Amino acid sequence: MAKKKADHIDKDPMKSYFVQKHGIIIYPVSEFEEKKRRGINDFLCIKSQKWYVEVNNNGTKKMFQKILKQAELNDAIWATINYYYKLLNEKTTK
Strands (DSSP E) contained in 1-94 are 24-30, 50-57, 60-69
> Which pTM value belongs to this model?
0.82
Condensed to tens digits (0 to 9), the pLDDT of residues 5-26 reads: 556 788 999 999 999 999 999 9
CA distance 67 to 64: 8
Strands 24-30 and 60-69: unpaired
Per-residue model confidence as pLDDT tens digits over 42-61? 877 777 789 999 999 999 99
